[in-house]
Amino acid sequence: MKLKKLYEDENIVAIDKPEGIASIPESNPLIESIFSILQKEYLKKIFIVHRLDKEVSGVLLFAKNSDTHKFLYEQFFNYTVDKTYIALVEGVVIEDFGTIDKPIRQFGSGKMGIDELKGKKSITYFKVLERFSNYTLLELKPKTGRRHQIRVHLYSIGHPVVGDLHYGDIIRQKKFSRLMLHAHKLEFFVREGKKLLIESKLPNSFNEIINRLAN
């Protein structure tokens, strides 16, 4: 697989990740990941800065050296990276914008879920971009970075991400060819002290489903 690069300099490389491929190696080492493909391309070690779920498309960032990796990782750890996602969800979201503030933790099954007592603080901001008869297109900004945070938060308010086989009605979700969640933008500081904004346009697989609903 040839990867599309959204941005590259001597310290970082940002990939336009397609859906259906893991960010990092899975249990089977024979299955390629974004990381393993990049590692073959570069002669030196590549560092993982953050991850996207296998089913999610969009901006995925890697560092080319340990100093840059530490610098970027601290921004993700301290929630100072501005992350913007686009999602199509089930149902019509009434509010034009809002905040989902519900603590999340991992359960024994491996799935994430809301737990008001034992969960870690998790905040997601959302804004409606477009409403359809039974679906809503949202822009989302997760303030925190819990695993499956956007997916769990939207499921918890009765609007699961379309195509989500983990957090939604499996029979309905299987009707869609992909998880309708896309990492649209990343904005963060580079070591020169300026901010860098990297954007990934919605892929054809995403737009095809949106266009079908609009017609």
Q: Which residues are catalytic?
A: 53
As a whole number of angstroms, the distance between CA 3 and CA 61 comes to 13
Residue of 211, 183, 184 lying closest to 54 (CA atoms): 183
As a whole number of angstroms, the distance between CA 16 and CA 55 comes to 13
Contact 34, 22 (CB under 8 A): yes
Residue of 110, 90, 109 lying closest to 156 (CA atoms): 90
Contact 99, 57 (CB under 8 A): no
Q: Which residues of 188-211 are buried (b: 16+ CB within 10 A; e: fewer)?
A: beeeeeeeeebbbebbeebeebbe
Name the β-bridge partners of 7: 14
3-state DSSP assignment of residue 88: strand
Contact 5, 37 (CB under 8 A): no
